[in-house]
């Protein structure tokens, strides 16, 4: 076994974390807090400066934690990727978005692999953490890394270990969420397992990187499909005059064989809306069509259109048209209590409402401004007067800090896409799925 093995055990291993975003920064801090020296690398000078100044831009990493690891000299950020030569293990956490036509956009993984290849040292362990289709580590990353002249599994070690973090989740963190690792050979798996055991309570080795890659995408497909199923049920309940929320509550009483998923205005974030397409795309190489994935994406992506249609109908029954209606969207983050607006359905809803000439404003205590196709928008103050002046208030994100009683008391009409007004009384409330 390589000497990195002893270095991990003696806690003298140095870890490089590439990409200091939602995944990379918490990981870098977790390794530092476990007593390892960490070099954080990013292409954005601003992020690097903020990290070195102890200023966090990721809600899950408090400034107190960041300052503490900096004070102990356990974390340093840099844009200088030649310093990858100095570390023993390299965890790559760069973005894996989609192109406009929803094909995998692997340019970040490819360009970072080229950089790592340039500075690769004998004995180093490289781990890809970015979510991607099965085969990326072996078919895309490995050949680029071997351009260094070093041989995988012999001169250096290579594994895939998907990041499982759930931003904003206070209960499950890097430490208590099981971490999957799959190496290109037995030694790579063993080394990756040993490395992650330093920050995660449970590390689960699998037979190869492809299994680890598919596991992560499958977890996200599972969520996407189940959310689509319950979104479809919400549509049906609207037609049948039943409440999907009541049905879910009743179904959830079954102690086995069921777990609740909830309908909403659509899916957002960097994972659930994107990752299933990575698999659907790869599957085509095998003349295979992942029908569940496509169907779920179709249903989930239609939800913002459905929300806008419901608002249009509600205004219509009140003798108003959407054209010129004053509409306040509450919450633009893709889920509660976080500041992330990537792929947020609220942005789509705002865009669609504006295209129909509605006068749209938004409030989100976590997001001071947003960019939509029509330009920049600022979050408005959520005052009683503001609520009362609207033709419709749309609850799009159920941030815990919102006083829904106050919203319902002040607004003329509330369209609740999250089911958070259940238990409140008022004939001005209309809910998705009812």
Ligand X SMILES: NC(=O)c1ccc[n+]([C@@H]2O[C@H](COP(=O)([O-])OP(=O)(O)OC[C@H]3O[C@@H](n4cnc5c(N)ncnc54)[C@H](O)[C@@H]3O)[C@@H](O)[C@H]2O)c1
Judged by CB under 6 A, which of 21, 135, 168, 365 binds ligand X?
21
Q: Counting contacts by CB under 6 A, is residue 91 touching ligand X?
A: no
CB of 9 to ligand X, least distance (A): 28
Given a contact cutoff of 8 angstroms between Cβ atoms, the answer to whether 92 and 119 are in contact is no
Q: Does 424 bind ligand X (CB under 6 A)?
A: no
DSSP H or E stretch at residue 307: helix 291-317
* Smallest distance from ligand X to CB 367, Å: 15
Q: Return the residue matching tokens 């205005």.
A: 265
Q: Which span sits near ligand X by CB under 6 A: 18-26, 69-77, 177-185, 202-210?
A: 18-26
Query: Which position among 179, 190, 270, 310 is part of the footprint of ligand X (CB under 6 A)?
Result: 270
DSSP notation for 391-402: SEEEE-S--TT-
Q: Give 62-82 as a DSSP string.
A: -HHHHHHHHHTT-EEEES-GG
Q: What angle do CA 316, 398, 165 make, to 5 degrees?
A: 135
d(CA 56, CA 34): 19
Q: Which is nearer to ligand X, 9 or 147 (CB)?
A: 147
Binding mask 226-265 for ligand X (x = CB under 6 A): ----------------------------------------
Would you state the torsion angle of the CA atoms of residues 303, 307, 313, 318, taken in this order, to the nearest 10 degrees? 170
Candidate list 91, 93, 237, 271, residue with the active-site label: 271
Give dist(CA 286, CA 54) in Å, integer: 48
Calculate the dihedral angle through the C-alpha atoms of 68, 74, 78, 84, rounding to the nearest 10 degrees: -160
Decide if residue 196 touches ligand X (CB under 6 A).
Answer: no
The stretch among 16-24, 64-72, 98-106, 382-390 that binds ligand X (CB under 6 A) is 16-24
Nearer to ligand X, 21 or 153 (CB): 21
Residue 402 makes CB contacts below 8 A (sequence gap 6+) with 330, 331, 382, 395, 420
Among 42, 88, 210, 391, binds ligand X (CB under 6 A): 42
What is the rounded (10 degree) CA torsion for 330, 333, 338, 340?
-160
Residue closer to ligand X (CB basis): 95 or 365: 95
Length of the chain in residues, anyone? 434
Per CB under 6 A, the list member of 60, 163, 343, 398 interacting with ligand X is 163
Binding track over 96-135 against ligand X, x by CB under 6 A:
x-----------x--xx-----------------xx----
Segment contacting ligand X (CB under 6 A): 41-49, 143-151, 359-367, 386-394?
A: 41-49
Is residue 358 within 8 A of residue 327, CB to CB? The reply is yes
Specify the residue, 132 or 243, whose C-beta has the smaller distance to ligand X. 132
Residue 181 forms beta bridges with which residues? 205
314-343: which residues touch ligand X (CB under 6 A)? none
User: In this structure, how many other beta carbons lie within 10 angstroms of the beta carbon of residue 43?
Assistant: 16
Compute the half-sphere exposure of residue 136: CA atoms within 13 Å on the CB side of its CA.
Answer: 30
Indicate which single residue of 4, 15, 19, 272 sits in contact with ligand X (rule: CB under 6 A): 19
Q: Is 179 in the site for ligand X (CB under 6 A)?
A: no
Q: Which of 27, 41, 230, 325 binds ligand X (CB under 6 A)?
A: 41
| The only residue of 70, 77, 94, 141 in contact with ligand X, by rule CB under 6 A | 94
Tokens representing 222 are 């599972």
Assess contact for 271 and 220: CB atoms under 8 A.
yes
The reply to whether 3 belongs to the active site is: no
DSSP state of 266: -
Site string for ligand X, 46-65 (x = CB under 6 A): -x------------------
What are the catalytic residues?
A: 271
Binding site for ligand X (CB under 6 A): 18-24, 41-44, 47, 93-96, 108, 111-112, 130-131, 163, 165, 167, 270-271
């Amino acid at each position: 076994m390589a000497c990195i093995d002893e270095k991990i055990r003696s806690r003298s291993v140095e870890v490089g974390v590439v990409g200091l975003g939602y995944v990379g920064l918490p990981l870098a801090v977790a390794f530092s807090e476990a007593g390892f020296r960490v070099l954080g690398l990013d292409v954005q000078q601003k992020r690097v400066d903020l990290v070195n100044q102890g200023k966090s831009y990721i809600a899950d990493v408090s400034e107190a934690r960041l300052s503490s690891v900096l004070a102990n000299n356990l974390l340093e950020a840099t844009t200088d990727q030649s310093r990858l030569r100095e570390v023993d293990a390299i965890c790559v956490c760069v973005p894996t978005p989609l192109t406009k036509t929803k094909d995998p956009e692997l340019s970040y993984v490819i360009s970072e692999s080229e950089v790592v290849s340039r500075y690769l040292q004998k004995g180093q362990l490289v781990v890809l953490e970015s979510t991607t289709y099965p085969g990326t580590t072996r078919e895309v990353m490995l050949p680029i890394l071997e351009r260094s002249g070093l041989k995988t599994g012999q001169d250096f070690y290579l594994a895939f270990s998907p990041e499982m973090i759930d931003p904003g989740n206070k209960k499950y963190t890097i430490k208590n969420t099981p971490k999957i690792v799959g190496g290109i050979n037995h030694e790579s798996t063993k080394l990756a397992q040993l490395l992650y055991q330093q920050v995660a309570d449970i590390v689960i080795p699998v037979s190869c990187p492809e299994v680890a890659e598919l596991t992560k995408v499958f977890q996200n497909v599972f969520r996407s499909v189940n959310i689509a199923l319950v979104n479809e049920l919400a549509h049906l309940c609207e037609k049948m005059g039943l409440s999907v929320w009541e049905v879910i509550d009743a179904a959830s009483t079954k102690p086995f064989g069921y777990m609740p998923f909830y309908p909403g205005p659509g899916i957002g974030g960097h994972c659930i809306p994107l990752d299933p397409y990575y698999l659907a795309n790869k599957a085509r190489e095998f003349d295979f069509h992942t029908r569940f994935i496509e169907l779920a994406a179709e249903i989930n992506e239609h939800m913002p259109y459905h929300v806008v249609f419901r608002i249009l109908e509600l205004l219509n029954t009140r003798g108003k048209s959407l054209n010129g209606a004053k509409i306040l969207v509450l919450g633009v983050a893709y889920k509660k209590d976080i500041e992330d607006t990537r792929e947020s359905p609220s942005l789509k809803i705002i865009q669609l409402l504006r295209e129909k000439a509605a006068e749209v404003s938004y409030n989100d205590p976590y997001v001071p401004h947003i960019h939509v196709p029509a330009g920049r928008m600022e979050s408005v103050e959520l005052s009683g007067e503001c609520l009362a002046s609207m033709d419709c208030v749309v609850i799009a994100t159920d941030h815990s800090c919102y006083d829904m009683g106050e919203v319902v008391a002040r607004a003329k009409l509330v369209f609740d896409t999250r089911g958070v007004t259940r238990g409140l009384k008022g004939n001005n409330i209309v809910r998705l799925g009812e």
